[in-house]
Amino acid sequence: MMYIQALDFVVAEARKYGMKLIMTLGNNWSDYGGKHQYVEWAKAAGAKVTSEDDFYTHPMIIFYYKNYIKTVLTRMNSITKIAYKDDPTIMAWELMNDLRYSLDRNVSLGIDFNVWISDLASHVKAFDDKHLLGLGMEGFYGESTPERVVDYNPKSLYYGSDFIWNYKTETDFTSAHAFPDLWLEGESDEAKRTFMKDWLSIHCSDSEKNLKRPLILGAFGKSSKVPGYTEEVRDSYMNEVYLDIYNYAKSEGTIGGGLVWQIMGEGMESYYDGFQIVLSKNPSTANVIHNQSIRMNALRQPLVN
């Protein structure tokens, strides 16, 4: 119970400071439990499951996840006394962080995956029709666009999701993540920056022309574990990405912004993964983020009903 009360506090603080939140409902990875934990709970209850991908198909696990989603959406915040589903501080929900399915390419066009996506999207919207809904995907291409797999996916591999096909569901915005330091390990900084430019460009284009939805760059960063890393290198990289985001937003209006991974407070060293930014200890990087916020804020347009 204390964990959900802590989330109440986070939402209340965001409300106090006029911030908007994208609330991600789960995790592909085992960090913080993730889909792995749901599979383990099902095993403990006697379910016959063989892999973490049973998360998307086993009725017991789907029931568990749906029940959890209902609990979160209908929760009354203990501080603000506003139900999550009614709270304007929350901008959007995402079904999962880094949403991926099986790499079995015999599943034609990921249709089985879309069954789960459509089912869960309808479930969310049945309880909350006020907020936007996204998937939380990294943006990898799949069998619906094999040429995109070759031209844009890291190392031209399949990653168990399909950016085009999966977003042709009951979703309101698209997302892409970008971690060339992890995906292109051992390649030059120049190659990683080129990848980043191409990755952002193609997802802006596909979101606008093929999916007719706005895009959020949901996570990007620069790892301190890469040889040659300095804070100056990180600032330069972030400035470059931010400028591309700004220019796309200004000229096309397709992209709504980019979220850096990850800002932390002091005393959180046990959570460091190489991408951490502690604003009080990294003032130059804090300034990069601040300047981008000012640029993007200047592009805001009043909502028209």
Which amino acid makes up residue 70?
K
Place of tokens 């034609």: 108
Statement: residue 129 has pLDDT above 50: yes
Q: Where are the beta strands (DSSP E) in 135-290?
A: 174-178, 215-220, 255-260, 263-264, 277-278
Does the residue 101 lie in any domain?
Answer: yes
Res. 104 pLDDT band, cuts 50 70 90: low
Place of tokens 């796309």: 248
Give the CATH number of the domain where residue 104 resides: 3.20.20.80
Q: What is the pLDDT of residues 235-252, one digit of tens each?
A: 999 999 999 999 999 998
Statement: residue 106 has pLDDT above 80: no
Of 86, 119, 139, which residue is a domain's last?
A: 139
186 and 288 housed in the same domain: yes
pLDDT > 70: percent of the chain: 95
Task: Give 231's contacts (C-beta < 8 A, 6+ positions apart).
Answer: 282, 284, 285
For residue 174, give Cα distances in angstroms to 123, 184, 203, 248, 284.
19, 23, 9, 15, 30
Mean pLDDT across 44-69: 95
Mean pLDDT across 45-61: 94
Can you give the pLDDT at residue 1?
61
Can you give the pLDDT at residue 252?
80
244 and 299 housed in the same domain: yes
Does the residue 166 lie in any domain?
Answer: no
Of 139, 156, 184, which residue is a domain's last?
A: 139
Can you give the pLDDT at residue 301?
78
Statement: residue 191 has pLDDT above 60: yes
97 and 216 housed in the same domain: no
Q: Domain residues for 81?
A: 1-139
Can you give the pLDDT at residue 159?
86
Can you give the pLDDT at residue 176?
98
Mean pLDDT across the chain: 94
The strand pair at 132-134 and 174-178 is best described as unpaired
Statement: residue 157 has pLDDT above 60: yes
Can you give the pLDDT at residue 232?
98
Statement: residue 288 has pLDDT above 60: yes
Task: Read off φ and ψ for residue 39, nearest 5 degrees.
Answer: -65, -40
Can you give the pLDDT at residue 147?
97
Statement: residue 19 has pLDDT above 90: yes
Query: How many domains does the structure of the chain reveal?
Result: 2
Does the residue 154 lie in any domain?
Answer: no
99 and 195 housed in the same domain: no
